[in-house]
Amino acid sequence: MYWNKEMECMPPEQRRKLQLERLQNLVRRVYENVPHYQRVLREAGIRPGDVQSLDDLAHLPFTTKDDLRRTYPFGLFATPLQNTVRVHASSGTTGKPTVVGYTRQDVDTWSEVMARTLSCAGTKQDDVVQIAYGYGLFTGGLGVHYGAEKIGATVVPVSVGNTKRQIMLMQDFGTTVLACTPSYALHLAEVLEESGADRSRIRLRVGVFGAEPWTQQLGREIENKLNVVAIDIFGLSEIIGPGVASECLYNAGLHLFDDHFLPEIIDPETGRQLPPGEEGELVITTLTKEAFPLIRYRTRDITRLFVEPCPCGRTHVRMSKIMGRTDDMLIIRGVNVFPSQVESALLEIGQAEPHYLLVVDRSGPLDQLEIWVEVSEKVFADEVRRLEALGKTIQREIEGTLGIGVKVKLVEPKTIERSQGKAKRVVDKRDVYNKNQ
């Protein structure tokens, strides 16, 4: 197992000192090397020497996705391109992607935090790690790859897709650790079930799932269906890729590797810092990144931080599971709705399949939320009366959670598209309506 005890179990006071040194160094580096940062820091009246304590972080300007777009492709790089050994990019639904770069040292840092992540999940040298995250510009595949190699585990770099082949390799190679998105893990479980494969030939023990929001309830479904422990791993390309934070086997929040990534929670409306325990938008400053350092990057992810010690011994600050993104939040008749709230309500009932879709439309002046829920073949073939009763139960549960009226439509198995990467949970028809106006 890989265990950087000095960093992972450092007394918090000592870590704060390290964070401050690294922050001061970072501000100096970006001021000297990145015109964008020099300009925004000057505008805020801040000189590099002004950062005297970690509290001064709150005075530094935020960096947003728009800043990345404006400086496309390499405008925020702090080192010359000849020192950049890798670039990745996020697809972005419209227009140009956002591009991020790594020096050799950055790739080492990334391997380090990914080795920590996989070790949090109990991965050791004798494990066989099947990586079914996409390889390529997406950071998932290569990120997990380097971490698993650093541990010395056996890597199966199969990438995403071709589910039948994934299952064959899993059996033949004796895969013990599966890395993919939680929605793909569910799909894999479904195909495994249908294929009638010999379960005794599956040696899976743990899954490292991330890249999209997923509830604890969904985690339990995956655990039951695949017979694994489901570990939540979090990250984003802008910060490094996967490897920002990870659950350990105590399943009690994600350890955020705060010797490299300095987190804050802010109120997304006012930008004001919130104390530990309060929910808000996660903002991260990269303390050690060389090629693509970021100051106070607004992730748009909603979570909370907590500082109580974990029984595993790691002393990093922890974050709770991501509840959703500020830009995934739907506002339905004035009420905020996250797909994850629907997911947990739905799975609490236990009679629906974990495949659902939120369809938002507008009839007249009012927004309507319809929730499509898949039920099994057996349930679908049931009497109409029983189906109606189930629909009503689901509706009541979801309405109770969200506090607004919804419609529920029970649909046949496989109606909702299966995902290989990040699942699409929302169809917002209001967008079309708005565009046509």
> 104 and 85 in contact (C-beta within 8 Å)?
yes
Cα–Cα distances in angstroms (integers) from residue 159 to residues 73, 121, 125, 133, in the given order: 26, 20, 21, 5
Rounded least distance, CB 143 to ligand DLL, Å: 6
Asked if 235 interacts with ligand DLL (CB under 6 A), we say yes
Alpha-carbon distance of 198 to 176, in angstroms, equals: 16
Beta-strand runs (E) in 279-355: 280-286, 297-303, 305-306, 318-319, 324-325, 330-332, 335-337
- Residue 349 CB partners (closer than 8 Å, separation 6+): 393, 394, 397
Residues between 125 and 164 that touch ligand DLL (CB under 6 A): 133, 139-140
Taking CB under 6 A as the binding criterion, the range among 67-75, 234-242, 273-281, 404-412 that sits at the site for ligand DLL is 234-242
Complex with ligand DLL: residue 362 or 422, whichever CB lies closer? 422
Cβ proximity to ligand DLL: between 40 and 322 the closer is: 322
Nearer to ligand DLL, 232 or 374 (CB): 232
Does 90 help bind ligand DLL (rule: CB under 6 A)?
yes
Q: What 3-state DSSP class applies to 185?
A: helix
Beta carbon of residue 328, minimum distance to ligand DLL (angstroms, whole number): 8
Restricted to residues 322-381, the positions that interact with ligand DLL (CB under 6 A) are 322, 325
Cβ(60)–Cβ(27) below 8 Å: yes
Q: Which is nearer to ligand DLL, 107 or 387 (CB)?
A: 107
Report the alpha-carbon distance of residue 395 to residue 352 in Å, rounded. 12
Q: In degrees rounded to 5, what are phi and psi of residue 421?
A: -120, -115
Q: Which is nearer to ligand DLL, 166 or 367 (CB)?
A: 166
Residues 247-276 contacting ligand DLL, CB under 6 A: none
Residue with Cβ nearer ligand DLL (41 or 291): 291
Residue 33 burial (10 A CB sphere; 0-12, 13-18, 19+): middle
3-state secondary structure of 333: coil
Q: Which is nearer to ligand DLL, 132 or 167 (CB)?
A: 132
Q: Which amino acid is at 297?
A: Y
Angle value at C-alpha 194, between 193 and 198, nearest 5 degrees: 55
Instruction: Find the farthest-apart pair of alpha carbons in the chain and give their distance in angstroms, rounded.
Output: 73
Residue 237 lies near ligand DLL (rule: CB under 6 A)? yes
* Nearest approach, Cβ of residue 282 and ligand DLL (Å): 8
Instruction: Please tell me whether residue 101 binds ligand DLL under the rule CB under 6 A.
Output: no
Q: Is 185 in the site for ligand DLL (CB under 6 A)?
A: no
In the complex with ligand DLL, the residue whose CB is nearer, 60 or 208, is 208
Site map (CB under 6 A) of ligand DLL, residues 285-314, x = contact: --------------x-x-------------
Closer CB to ligand DLL, 19 or 181, in the complex = 181
**Nearest-approach distance from CB 208 to ligand DLL, in angstroms:** 7
> Among 154-162, 204-212, 257-265, 290-298, which window interacts with ligand DLL (CB under 6 A)?
204-212
- Residue 211 engages ligand DLL in binding (rule: CB under 6 A): yes
- Binding residue (CB under 6 A) for ligand DLL from 114, 178, 230, 236: 236
- Helix, strand, or coil (residue 76): coil
Q: Closest Cα to residue 230, out of 211, 199, 251, 212?
A: 251
Q: In what order do the strands lie in the sheet with 254-256?
A: 154-156, 128-131, 177-180, 206-210, 229-236, 241-247, 254-256, 318-319, 305-306
By rule CB under 6 A, what count of residues binds ligand DLL?
20
Rounded to a whole number of angstroms, the minimum distance from the CB of residue 212 to ligand DLL is 5
Q: For 217-271, give the DSSP string.
A: HHHHHHHHHHTSEEEEEEEETTTTEEEEEEE-TT-SSEEE-TTTEEEEEE-TTT-
Q: What's the token pair of residue 133?
A: 């995250």
If the CB atoms of residues 9 and 137 are measured against ligand DLL, the closer one turns out to be: 137
207 binds ligand DLL (CB under 6 A): no
CB of 232 to ligand DLL, least distance (A): 5
The correct pick among 106, 127, 232, 397 for binding ligand DLL (CB under 6 A) is 232
Quick one: CA torsion of 242, 245, 249, 252, rounded to 10 degrees? -140
Q: How far is the CB of 284 from ligand DLL (least distance, A)?
A: 10
User: Could you tell me the CA-to-CA distances from 144 to 81, 116, 210, 381, 386 in Å, in that order?
Assistant: 24, 11, 11, 42, 45
For the bound state, the minimum distance from the C-beta of residue 234 to ligand DLL, rounded and expressed in Å, comes to 4
Binding positions for ligand DLL, rule: CB under 6 A: 90, 133, 139-140, 210-213, 232-237, 241-242, 299, 301, 322, 325
